[in-house]
Chain A
Amino acid sequence: EAGVVQSPRYKIIEKKQPVAFWCNPISGHNTLYWYRQNLGQGPELLIRYENEEAVDDSQLPKDRFSAERLKGVDSTLKIQPAELGDSAVYLCASSLDRRTDTQYFGPGTRLTVL
């Protein structure tokens, strides 16, 4: 069974440019998560989706970050405009539903903002 797929794996942009990350969760997984991981830290939740609905976006910086999960499958996380402090690894995870024990993580996208 295929795992969580993310693209691109690496992205280098200049500040003030837009950037987008794509995630394809495990087939049949209703819950999708986006995390941000700064160097030397554990992942921090940005947003959680139950199917198409964003049920927890309290940690998403809404002035520059946006996310969508159309049709309740793939998801896109966007930053516009990017700032130097946005350099991090952006991880996507999915689970069968929010009550399920296990979240399965993708390999992440490493963003460098110059």
Chain B
Amino acid sequence: DAKTTQPPSMDCAEGRAANLPCNHSTISGNEYVYWYRQIHSQGPQYIIHGLKNNETNEMASLIITEDRKSSTLILPHATLRDTAVYYCIVRASWGDDKIIFGKGTRLHILP
């Protein structure tokens, strides 16, 4: 079973920041938080990952709470092309831990 909880769907206006929450209250000390997204008719695409500190790359920012029990993916200026299902995943970076996808959050960007 997935170790994360996400809202099934969210809407965001084009040009605004999209903030996607994720709860992972049972996360272990050696587990990272990963985000992937899946645009319609495509395979999942890696976005970002982090352990404790906030992370930023060209696609998004990841904010992890101090207790690491939840996180938020931020798309700073959402466009219509960001419409997708976003998956929050926790996994260990070492060993045989698998990526277990939940149902994700379906993000609709509204024009």
B103 adjacent to A4 (CB under 8 Å) = no
B46 adjacent to A103 (CB under 8 Å) = yes
Residue-wise, chain B 73-111 has the 8 Å CB interface mask toward A (1 for contact) of 000000000000001000001101011111110000000
For residue A72, CB closer than 8 A to chain B, the reply is no
From A42, A44, A104, residue with most partner B Cβ within 10 Å: A42
Residues of B within 8 A of A98 (CB): 96
Residues of A within 8 A of B103 (CB): 40-42
Binding site secondary structure of chain B = loop
Contact-size category for B: 20 to 34
Q: Which segment of A13-21, A61-69, A76-84, A105-113 sits at the interface? A: A105-113
B101 adjacent to A4 (CB under 8 Å) = no
Ordered by A's residue number, 7 sampled pairs between the chains whose C-beta atoms are within 8 Å are: A42-B101, A42-B102, A45-B100, A91-B44, A99-B94, A101-B46, A105-B43
B interface with A by C-beta (< 8 Å): 2, 32, 34, 41-46, 49, 87, 93-94, 96, 98-104
